[in-house]
Every structure is written in C-alpha cells, then in structure tokens.
Amino acid sequence: MSENSWLDAGRATLPEIKDFVARHPFAILPVGSTEQHGPHLPINTDTLLAEAIALETARRSTGLVLPALPLGYAWVWKDVPASLTLSFDTYMRVIRDTVESLSSWGVKAVYIMSGHGSNPQPIKHALRELIHDKIDIKVLYGMYAGLNTMKAEAESDSWHGDLHADEIETSLMLAIAPDLVRMDLAKADYPPAPSDYGQSELSMGHLMRSGVFGDPTKASAEKGHRWFDIAATESATLWNDYLSRHDLLTGD
Ligand SMILES: [Zn+2]
C-alpha cells in the first residue's frame, strides 16, 4: 500500500476526502456503545477500542476511517444507569442511512468494525435491506478481529464467552488509554447465571452486580499491546482479503 492509503476522516477536509475516495474508495466505520463497564473502566470503552483498532487497521491496510458512532444496540443494559441504547430498528436505520451516504460519495466498500458484541445483529439486517434495495456498496462487518486468540491467551476465563470489563477489555484499554483505567478499583466478578440464560428474557443487565463480567485484575498493558497488535493485524488481513476477493484493490 502507498503511504497515503488511509485517512482519518474526522480530521480531514472536503477536498482531502474527495481526493482520497477517488483514489481509495474504501471506508472503515468504527461503531461502539455507551454503557457501564463497572467501577474501573469508562462508559465509552467500546467506542474508544473500536476507533483505535479501526485507525490502526487502516494504517496497515487502507481506508477512510470515519468518526465512531458512540451509541449502539445495547438492549442488554436497558434501564441500567450509565448505559444508553438505541432500539434494534433505530440502530438498523442509523447503519443503513450511514452506509447509503457513503455509497453516494462513491465509496465502494465499507468495513463496519464493532467494539460491542450486540451491534452485528442489527448491522446484518441493515445489510440485507441494502442488498434488497440494490445499493451498490460492499459491506464487511463484525467485532474487531483476534478475539479467539485473545481468549486462548487470557489467564482468566471469560464469562459465558462474553467480553465485558474483563481481562481482555481492560488490557486493551491499558494499551490505548491508560489514564482512563482505574486498576485500583478493578475486581473480579462472575455473576451466577441460571440455566435459562441466553434462552430467555434474562440479560446481562439483570444478572450484573459490580458491572464487571470476568477478571480484570489479570489485565496488563503488556498483554494489551500484544492483543491490540493482534486485533489490528487480523482485522487488516480480513479487510485486505475482502477487498481482494471483490477485485477492489486492482490498480492500487
Ligand atoms: Zn465493552
């Protein structure tokens, strides 16, 4: 990739963005969530992580990195203090309208990179609507990559496979925003879940105690830097493969 194959859109001007999209019609949209993360992490953790990993992914591959969307689909924290959620339908529309705008700029492919596990569900349905309406843009979406490697390397168990204020998220935050992490307040918490969890109306919000799900005391900046690198590397590989498969990198 050439040196100018990525751009931070939020800091760029109209002529810079027009010039970039004419040469590299690819965008990365980080999507986060504003939600409680216990006593030791800030409520914009998911958004900060999505944005930082999206920027590093673009540096290692290509793309116009858009300003992160701070509100997500966080029904699991409905009515929990310090948490905001859009409804499934509203979030679908936000994604759909954003992708349609990008298409009208001439963007040919977008990578919607989430820092929050529930966002991909409404994104999937928004994508199906876009396809149905024949909007001419390719959409890759999902959580930032590398989570399987991180879970395998973590010292502590995840809580039901989820990622929330645990060793992994706390380590990643220690890597990208150490001033925002209050390790002195970090405590392990594995709230018990009845056997119908995941198959009933019970959500993480119903089961939470401190707001932590896992063991953040095992977190370290060293692990965070390693896992951040894995997230960016694997995300960049996925994105490059996706663009290549659609013949979008030709001539680059
Ligand atoms: Zn989170």
Confidence (pLDDT) at 139:
97
Coil, helix or strand at residue 190: coil
Q: Spell out which residues have Cβ within 5 A of ligand 1, the ion.
A: 45-46
Cα of 163 vs centre of ligand 1, distance in Å, is 7
Cα of 57 vs centre of ligand 1, distance in Å, is 19
1 — pLDDT class (breaks 50, 70, 90): very low
Cα of 42 vs centre of ligand 1, distance in Å, is 9
Cα of 1 vs centre of ligand 1, distance in Å, is 32
Tally of CB atoms within 10 A around 111: 27
pTM of the model: 0.96
Confidence (pLDDT) at 3:
53
Confidence (pLDDT) at 51:
98
Confidence (pLDDT) at 95:
98
Mean pLDDT of 7-22: 97
Cα of 45 vs centre of ligand 1, distance in Å, is 6
Cα of 131 vs centre of ligand 1, distance in Å, is 30
Mean pLDDT of 95-115: 97
249 — pLDDT class (breaks 50, 70, 90): confident
Q: Is the pLDDT of residue 251 over 80?
A: no
Cα of 136 vs centre of ligand 1, distance in Å, is 32
Residue identified by tokens 């944005």 is: 51
Q: Is the pLDDT of residue 182 over 70?
A: yes
Token digits for 223? 């692990």
Cα of 46 vs centre of ligand 1, distance in Å, is 4
Cα of 31 vs centre of ligand 1, distance in Å, is 12
Cα of 125 vs centre of ligand 1, distance in Å, is 22
Q: What is the mean pLDDT of the chain?
A: 95
> How far from each other are the two terminal CA atoms of the chain, in whole angstroms?
7
133 — pLDDT class (breaks 50, 70, 90): confident
Mean pLDDT of 88-94: 97
* pLDDT tens, residue by residue, 155-166: 999 999 999 999
Q: Is the pLDDT of residue 107 over 50?
A: yes
Token digits for 9? 């859109």
Q: Tell me if the domain spanning 6-245 has CATH number 1.20.1250.20.
A: no
Cβ(43)–Cβ(81) below 8 Å: no
Going from N- to C-terminal start, the domains of the chain cover: 6-245
Mean pLDDT of 19-42: 98
Q: What percent of the chain has pLDDT over 90?
A: 93
* pLDDT tens, residue by residue, 24-35: 999 999 999 999
Confidence (pLDDT) at 75:
95
Give me the phi and psi of 41, to 5 degrees please.
-125, 150
